[in-house]
Structure 1
Amino acid sequence: GITLSEYFRDMGHHVSMMADSTSRWAEALREISGRLAEMPADSGYPAYLGARLASFYERAGRARCLGSPTREGSVSIVGAVSPPGGDFSDPVTSATLGIVQVFWGLDKKLAQRKHFPSVNWLISYSRYLRALEPHYEGLHPEFPALRRRAREILQEEEELAEIVQLVGKVGMKEEEEVGL
């Protein structure tokens, strides 16, 4: 899939590729590694798991095409990782999180409450925020401050939801109920 994406990128197109699921790919890599009698590392995965994941994700990006300096293309990879039991300490998940620049963490609790998309904004991140801040300020000067305030509100809501689960809404202030 990534080779086809690079082919179209080299033609000057902007390509988005969905990789679902890198966890299953890593499981297959673990099986093959075991059959080849390679020394297993964490959770039975081969020691080179992180390097293989990095070599895959690092193929994404913008490129000037050979033969025509004005022709430019790009590949964006949207990878899905499905950790067993939602355990983020899984070797595939932790290796992927160390490589990728943007992460959207899906939350099973949100999905069960029919909250879609079930993206948990408190565990999700982008490492491009500083690079994009001048762009956002140019569009709307207050945007960075509004984004920070929105995250604070989401954090407050998470904390209040935990309190309500333990003791209920009794004794909550009016502004706390609004935040919930």
Structure 2
Amino acid sequence: MAASAVMQTLLATPVAGSLVKNQSRVSHLFSATYMPRPRGGASRRVLCKAELDDQMNSEEKIATPTPTPTPTPTPTPKPKVSKKFSDVFAFSGPAPERINGRLAMIGFVAAMAVELSKGQDLFSQISNGGGTWFLGTSILLSVASLIPLFKGVSVESKSDGFMTSDAEMWNGRFAMLGLVALAYTEFVSGRTLL
């Protein structure tokens, strides 16, 4: 144990490189220490940890192929939004279903609120002054929905997070179905739903 400690200190000194090559000089300097000699004239080579790590890293580099970088796709340009009246009000344009859905959402909530508070069915609500409210709300909401579309602002560009343009479309579709189902149920039963 003592011999290995001396050997380690000897190898750690800067002079050690020249001393290891010439063992006779080492044995003269430290005659009290035992220095084993290789048998049969075999020479032993001592590798430091840094050399071993370098060899292992070079083997790993050779063994693992370098991945080829994938080219980044060029961003697709945003489609231009048409401001023409015929494009905005086209069958598959942005205005018709969106405006109808918004009106249906407001109409369904208003019809259910009046039915709960006054106990009137949908047809009596329309005949007792609900028609003017419907017409006024329709004009106001349509104009408010059309102004951004005629300025070239798309609905998808303003939607993010939980309230997306697709969620608004689905809510509008369900509200339209809800209004039709409410009117049909009250017409067939002849009384209010609630």
Shorter chain as normaliser: what TM range?
under 0.3
* Rg comparison, structure with higher value: 2
Larger helix share, 1 or 2: 2
Tell which has more relative contact order, 1 or 2 (C-alpha 8 A, sep 6+). 2
Larger strand share, 1 or 2: 1
